[in-house]
Amino acid sequence: MLEELRHSTEPEHLVNEARRYLRGLKGNLVQMKKQKEAKEHAAKEVQTAAAYHAASAPIWRNAPATGMAGGGGGAPMY
């Protein structure tokens, strides 16, 4: 469209307004695309960090309080 405006026979002030409008529209679309990509990248970073944190967290294995041979729970035996 910008190329067609160069060859337009319309008055110069109208062509300039149309050019400015189209450039602003194009700039807005580029900005929105960058913001969307930044959001997606941030979400991916959060997922990666959460996965790393979950993988590096220690896993504590506690014996169940009951059901084990040798007592396992209740009052201590003397």
* Residue 30 structural domain: 2-56
Please give the average per-residue pLDDT across 63-71, as a whole number.
Answer: 55
Residue bearing the bigger pLDDT, 37 or 72? 37
Contacts of 8 (CB under 8 A, 6+ apart): 15
Give the Å distances, CA to CA, from 11 to 6, 22, 33, 40: 11, 17, 33, 44
State how far the Cα of 61 lies from the Cα of 49, in Å rounded to an integer.
24
In a domain, 11, yes or no: yes
In a domain, 61, yes or no: no
Q: Is residue 73 within 8 Å of 66, Cβ to Cβ?
A: yes
Decide if pLDDT at 73 tops 70.
no
Amino acid letter, 36: K
In a domain, 41, yes or no: yes
The per-residue pLDDT for range 10-66, each reduced to its tens digit, is 999 999 999 999 999 999 999 999 999 999 999 998 888 877 777 776 666 665 555
In a domain, 52, yes or no: yes
Number of domains in the chain: 1
In a domain, 23, yes or no: yes
Residue 13: name the closest of 3, 25, 1, 21 by CA.
21
In a domain, 25, yes or no: yes
Decide if pLDDT at 72 tops 60.
no
